[in-house]
């Protein structure tokens, strides 16, 4: 038993024990603090250092209007190490980006860089700033914008989120654009708008599902406008359906029917230059060849001249012409016009391969004379038609302006035949199947086409047609070629139930020529070429 003074003395002594114990404890803590401080610094934030891509070149139209350009934009990423509360942050982000997927999983990653949203709008950036989370970081990124919206979307093309060209000019000229060079197109955006407006109006009037068209400058082969409808906004190409993104002008191939009479008639005139327009064709009876029977849509039931065959679009007459031309010569002529192979010189990668008869029998020669059994892309047909209805010289279509470059042209038929074709084409508009295409003072000449589409079970489906018109103006010395094609139009009350090329495409071309006259300030002229 201790006396109080003993216990006090013991307590006094034991304070030294506690003093030493705590001194040791604090020494350990201080050493540990020094050790941790001398560790190599932890990974720095934002180690993602991909060099910023240089500003991508502009795409402009022939007159310099901006079609595609880069603007300063920003993207959002996360540094998950900086984010204290991933769940609540993810909830806040989900309200700003409802379609961005599982943000929680991204914010919980053991990384220092995770993309959350690319190319966000200023309003979204502001909302993100208001979350006030330091782990949400913006990165300046150029953003591709298309000021003309969906106009010429299939030709201009689009890029992926990192600015790499995926289609159209953006893809074909990716190298130059990525290096910051501008690309000038032959497109005139005013004509482009007029063309898309008229095709769109025809599609709406006749409840069609699609359409395509082009305006070519005959002397140079420049594509002044090229359309494929329905279209899409290239800035949001990823959200568009494959059907909308499909390029019907150069990648799709179609049986365009009677438009081919332009080529078969020209082939006949080339083969029989002396007989020429004086030839007669008996179209009173359907033409039988083996198990095939060739009939006319509006039978004239008489003997027709060459001009009348063309004017009234007689299938029997065209087949009889082709029969006289012969398989080898017709095939060679079509090949010279570039109708049997994919367009060789088109710079964009969306090029369709024509469907031609294989094997090519004699009956094929009869059917391809009026455009059955052969499918080509609309631009391919327009190119060939520009030669036949123009000056007889074939020029590869151009989409990119090449200042000073010579125009490569190849004579594919005689000038005399081409002159005759102008006259025939003008007859179609003045007295034949395309009276709706006439515009006073602009002497349009052309050819209608109404083709049944192949049916689902073989053969042809008379309820699903492609109606088209290819024309030139002014007809005595053509400068411009226009092609309009409408896919699956339905007849209306105003058209008496008809949905043929003459009813659907010809009036659209007439309205387009009126617009072109205003836009290009083309004065009206008389029928023979003198001023009115």
Partner 1 sequence: MARAFSRADDSLLARWWWTVDRVSLAAFGALMLLGLMLVATASPTVAERISLPPYYFLFRHAVLLGPCAFAVLGLSALGPRWLCRGACLLLVAALAGLVAVLFTGGEVKGAQRWLSLAGQSVQPSEFAKPALIVVTAWAVTRPYGVSLTWGRRAAVGLWAVTVALLLAQPDLGSSVQITAAVAAVAVLAGAPLRLAGFGLAAGAGGLVAAYHALPHVRSRVDRFWDPASGDTYQVDRSLEALSSGGFFGVGPGHGAVKARLPDAHADFMLAVAGEEMGAVLVWAVLALFALILWRGYARLAAGQDMFAVLAGGGLLALLGVQVATHAGSALALIPAKGTTLPFLSYGGSALLSASLTAGAILAFTRIRGQPGLSRGTLTPRGAWP
Point out the residues that are catalytic: 258
Closest contact distance (angstroms) between CB of 21 and partner 1 is 9
Closest contact distance (angstroms) between CB of 32 and partner 1 is 5
Whichever of 2 and 291 has its CB closer to partner 1, that residue is 2
Element (H, E) at 464: strand 460-473
Q: Is the CA virtual torsion 187, 190, 196, 202 positive or negative?
A: negative
Element (H, E) at 311: helix 306-311
**Pairing mode, if any, of strands 183-184 and 59-60?**
parallel
Element (H, E) at 86: helix 86-96
Calpha distance 304→310 (Å, rounded): 9
Closest contact distance (angstroms) between CB of 22 and partner 1 is 5
Whichever of 32 and 518 has its CB closer to partner 1, that residue is 32
**Of 68-127, which residues contact partner 1 (CB under 8 A)?**
81-85
Candidates 17-25, 276-284, 288-296, 346-354 — which segment interacts with partner 1 by CB under 8 A? 17-25
Contact status: 28 vs partner 1 (CB under 8 A):
yes
Calpha distance 230→196 (Å, rounded): 10
Length of the chain: 532
Query: Which residue among 51, 98, 122, 132 contacts partner 1 (CB under 8 A)?
Result: 132
Q: How many residues line the site for partner 1 (CB under 8 A)?
A: 41
Candidates 29-37, 62-70, 364-372, 490-498 — which segment interacts with partner 1 by CB under 8 A? 29-37
Contact status: 404 vs partner 1 (CB under 8 A):
no
Element (H, E) at 231: none
Give 151's DSSP letter.
T
Binding map of partner 1 across residues 35-74, x = CB under 8 A, - = no contact: -xxxxxxx--x-----------------------------
Calpha distance 483→256 (Å, rounded): 11
Pair 246, 209: CB distance under 8 Å: no
Contact status: 530 vs partner 1 (CB under 8 A):
no
Closest contact distance (angstroms) between CB of 161 and partner 1 is 29
Calpha distance 190→166 (Å, rounded): 25
Candidates 5-13, 246-254, 300-308, 359-367 — which segment interacts with partner 1 by CB under 8 A? 5-13
Contact status: 26 vs partner 1 (CB under 8 A):
yes
Query: Which residue among 33, 161, 408, 494 contacts partner 1 (CB under 8 A)?
Result: 33
Pair 155, 169: CB distance under 8 Å: yes
Whichever of 58 and 88 has its CB closer to partner 1, that residue is 88
Other beta carbons within 10 angstroms of residue 113's beta carbon come to: 18
Calpha distance 218→391 (Å, rounded): 8
Closest contact distance (angstroms) between CB of 172 and partner 1 is 47
- In 206-305, which ranges are continuous DSSP H helix? 242-245, 261-271
Query: Which residue among 15, 462, 530, 531 contacts partner 1 (CB under 8 A)?
Result: 15
Distance from the Cα of residue 243 to its chain's centroid: 11
**Of 134-153, which residues contact partner 1 (CB under 8 A)?**
134-135
Token pair of 88, please?
């609540």
Contact status: 239 vs partner 1 (CB under 8 A):
no
Contact status: 462 vs partner 1 (CB under 8 A):
no
Candidates 129-137, 325-333, 362-370, 471-479 — which segment interacts with partner 1 by CB under 8 A? 129-137
How open is the CA angle 207-379-268, to the nearest 5 degrees? Answer: 105
Helices (H) and strands (E) in the chain, counts: 17, 18
| Peptide bond between residue 474 and the one before it cis (omega within 30 degrees of 0) | yes
Closest contact distance (angstroms) between CB of 252 and partner 1 is 56
Closest contact distance (angstroms) between CB of 75 and partner 1 is 22
Contacts to partner 1 by CB under 8 A: 1-2, 4, 7-8, 10-19, 22-23, 25-26, 28-30, 32-34, 36-42, 45, 81-85, 132, 134-135
């Amino acid at each position: 038993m201790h006396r109080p003074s003993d216990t006090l003395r013991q307590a006094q002594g034991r304070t030294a024990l506690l003093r030493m114990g705590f001194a040791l404890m604090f020494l350990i803590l201080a050493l540990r603090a020094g050790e941790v401080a001398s560790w190599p610094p932890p990974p720095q934030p934002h180690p993602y250092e991909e060099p910023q891509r240089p500003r991508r070149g502009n795409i402009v139209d022939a007159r310099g209007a901006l079609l595609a350009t880069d603007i300063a934009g920003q993207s959002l990423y996360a540094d998950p190490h900086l984010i204290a509360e991933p769940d609540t942050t993810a909830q806040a982000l989900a309200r700003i980006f409802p379609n961005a997927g599982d943000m929680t999983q991204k914010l919980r990653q053991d990384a220092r860089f995770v993309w959350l949203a690319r190319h966000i709008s200023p309003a979204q950036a502001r909302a993100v700033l208001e979350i006030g989370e330091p782990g949400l970081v913006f990165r300046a990124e150029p953003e591709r914008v298309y000021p003309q919206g969906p106009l010429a979307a299939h030709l201009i093309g689009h890029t992926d989120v990192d600015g790499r060209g995926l289609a159209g000019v953006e893809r074909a000229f990716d190298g130059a654009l990525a290096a910051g060079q501008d690309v000038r197109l032959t497109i005139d955006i005013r004509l482009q708008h007029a063309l898309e407006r008229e095709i769109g109006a025809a599609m709406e009037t006749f409840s069609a599902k699609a359409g395509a068209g082009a305006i070519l400058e005959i002397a140079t082969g420049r594509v002044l406008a090229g359309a494929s409808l329905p279209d899409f906004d290239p800035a949001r190409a990823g959200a568009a359906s494959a059907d909308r993104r499909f390029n019907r002008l150069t990648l799709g191939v179609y049986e365009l029917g009677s438009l081919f009479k332009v080529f078969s008639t020209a082939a006949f005139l080339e083969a029989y230059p002396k007989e020429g327009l004086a030839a007669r064709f008996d179209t009173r009876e359907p033409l039988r060849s083996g198990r095939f029977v060739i009939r006319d849509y509006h039978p004239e039931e008489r003997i027709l001249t060459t001009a009348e065959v063309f004017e009234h679009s007689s299938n029997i007459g065209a087949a009889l012409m082709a029969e006289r031309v012969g398989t080898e010569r017709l095939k060679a002529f079509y090949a010279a016009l570039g109708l049997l192979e994919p367009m060789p010189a088109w710079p964009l990668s969306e090029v369709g391969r024509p469907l031609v008869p294989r094997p090519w029998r004699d009956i094929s020669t009869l059917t391809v004379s009026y455009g059955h059994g052969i499918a080509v892309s609309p631009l391919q047909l327009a190119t060939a038609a520009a030669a036949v209805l123009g000056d007889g010289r074939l020029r590869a279509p151009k989409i990119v302006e090449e200042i000073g470059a010579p125009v490569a042209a190849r004579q594919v038929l005689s000038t005399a035949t081409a002159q005759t074709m102008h006259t025939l084409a003008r007859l179609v508009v003045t007295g034949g199947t395309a009276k709706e295409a006439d515009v006073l003072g602009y002497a349009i000449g052309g050819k209608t086409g109404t083709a049944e589409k192949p049916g689902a079970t073989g053969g042809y489906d008379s309820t699903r047609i492609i109606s088209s018109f290819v024309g030139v103006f002014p007809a005595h010395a053509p400068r411009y070629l226009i092609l309009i094609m409408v896919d699956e139009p339905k007849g209306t009350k105003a058209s008496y139930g008809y949905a043929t090329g003459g009813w659907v495409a010809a009036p659209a071309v007439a309205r387009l020529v009126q617009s072109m006259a205003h836009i290009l300030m083309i004065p009206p002229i008389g029928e023979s070429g003198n001023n009115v």
